[in-house]
Amino acid sequence: MALKPAEVSKSRLNALPVPLRQRLARCMALDTLSALATATDQLVVVSDDPTIAERLHRAEIDAEVLAEPEPGGMNEALHLGDQRLRDHGCTRVLAAVGDLPAATAEAVGRVLDSSTHLPRAFVADHSGYGTTMLIGAAGKLDPRFQGASAQAHRMSGAVPVVDPDPRLTSDVDAVEDLEAVIALGVGPHTSRLVTSDRLGDYAAVTVAGPAPAAGGDYVVITDAGVRLPLPSSVVDGEIRFLRSGQRLHAVADGHRLLSAWL
């Protein structure tokens, strides 16, 4: 998988507040990578994000991280990953986009099994315009992602997977895509940002102090002056200590906080 740093990824989700857009991009990537890591033997991530290795470690995703080559770009990065896996002795390589939060290892395994007899195969996205996955013999991946990539892959000789699992076609290119992918059921990272049927509401909050009942919970105040409980269970694992006056990003469902991070 090729990943941009979250600061510049998913720019077409610009209707969302910047902190929420960046957080959503990271969470969707981690859920996608988790499914791929479980379904495959080796995982390579090509990225110039300086935080990606630590994030993968915290998420318990075993992957090799390579720096993006020069000149950059998604297809060049995927070519580098394909070459590395070939050098490791892999006989088939799967490349995937990083915004498939509903993907599961079982769905990935099924598409790998169904395309075993094909030299190259691809999964078109839900619009039929783009590509979410490309599978080929190592050294023969020939990625042509971005733009009208479904047609580009078909024209290059890759065979479209018939009736793929919607969990593997439902990428998130626009805010309008979120409702459908949430209805399918998203992975554990993305699920911390959603309610039962939609993305939660972004809020910037300030830590007021420990909750009276203790137990590790805190109280925060939104910029609108509303006091809300902050359960320790929704605080991002990278936050080791909270202190009064600390500013956090958060996602809420009404008066219930779903997630909080730096």
Closest CA to 50 of 30, 62, 65, 61: 65
By the 8 A CB rule, do 81 and 2 touch?
A: yes
Per-position pLDDT tens, the chain of length 262: 999 887 777 777 889 999 999 999 999 999 999 999 999 999 999 999 999 999 999 999 999 999 998 877 999 999 999 999 999 999 999 999 999 999 999 999 999 999 999 999 999 999 999 999 999 987 789 999 999 999 999 999 999 999 999 999 999 999 999 999 999 999 999 999 999 899 999 999 999 999 887 677 999 999 999 999 999 999 999 898 999 999 999 999 999 999 999 9
Pick the last residue of a domain from 143, 158, 191: 191
**CATH code for the domain of 93:** 3.90.550.10
Do 256 and 157 lie in one domain? The reply is no
CATH of the domain at 232: 2.40.50.140
Do 241 and 183 share a structural domain?
no
Beta-bridge partner residues of 259: 251
Q: Is residue 89 helix, strand or coil?
A: coil
Cβ-based neighbours of 48, under 8 Å, separated by 6 or more = 4, 5, 67, 68, 72
Same domain, 218 and 124: no
Q: What per-residue confidence (pLDDT) applies to 214?
A: 62
Domain assignment of residue 206, given as a range: 201-261
Is residue 183 located within the same domain as residue 209?
no
Both structure tokens of 157: 């000789």
Tokens of 251: 């996602």
**Could you tell me whether strands 218-222 and 92-96 are parallel, antiparallel, or unpaired per DSSP bridges?**
unpaired
Cα separation, 190 vs 209, in Å, equals: 27
What is the tally of structural domains in the chain? 2
Same domain, 54 and 157: yes
Residue 61 shares a structural domain with residue 166: yes
- Helix, strand, or coil (residue 9): coil
